[in-house]
Amino acid sequence: MKIIMLGAPGAGKGTQAKMIAEKYSVPHVSTGDIFRANIKNGTELGKQAKEYMDAGKLVPDELTVKILLDRVAQDDCKNGYVLDGFPRTIPQAQVLEDALNKLGEKIDYAINVDVPDENIVKRMSGRRACLKCGATYHIEHIPPKQEGICDTCGSELVLRDDDKPETVLNRLKVYHDQTQPLIDFYSERNVLKTVDGTRDLKDVFADIIAILG
């Protein structure tokens, strides 16, 4: 079972990807994690990726797909995997599709966790983080015992720059420009399934399980 997770930043697709991976005993493959592992282990692909990253450039799609295919060729992926964070653009999706076709494989499901922009802005701007110990809270859903203070270490909680409304809106614009077309791409291939991401985490997961069977 080869699954791609789609959804805007803050839609909760990463959390759902981990839960799917756990339930079906397949790896949760995050491109960020693969890059870090390759760079840390000093692999040839990792060295190439690091050159681009050190220069402040995006890693080219072909190299990203090579690193990804190298990961999904490992034994733990033989029963499938959940891709999180890739593909982000149509060219990436096409390179991935071509590479899988050569192996006689294809993506089985592209699951779109759909959440309206205004919900995401509200959800993310409610996040609070402790910069000292890394604990995270939400002023509505997971509030600290004392407002603005970390339960774990007593440090002050902050709204990270990444979670500020103007930053979130900018990230959403990039998402809609680049990644939204993937919804059409996978819809045309009859593998797209959309779930309502505004519902409770467990309800969203139940909807996904009903799709995957």
Q: What positions carry a catalytic annotation?
A: 13, 88, 127, 160, 171
Q: What is the dihedral of CA 203, 121, 92, 87, to 10 degrees?
A: -20
Q: What is the dihedral of CA 161, 166, 167, 168, to 10 degrees?
A: 110
First and final C-alpha spacing in the chain: 11
- The β-bridge partners of 111 are 5, 193
Backbone angles phi, psi at 118, to 5 degrees: -65, -35
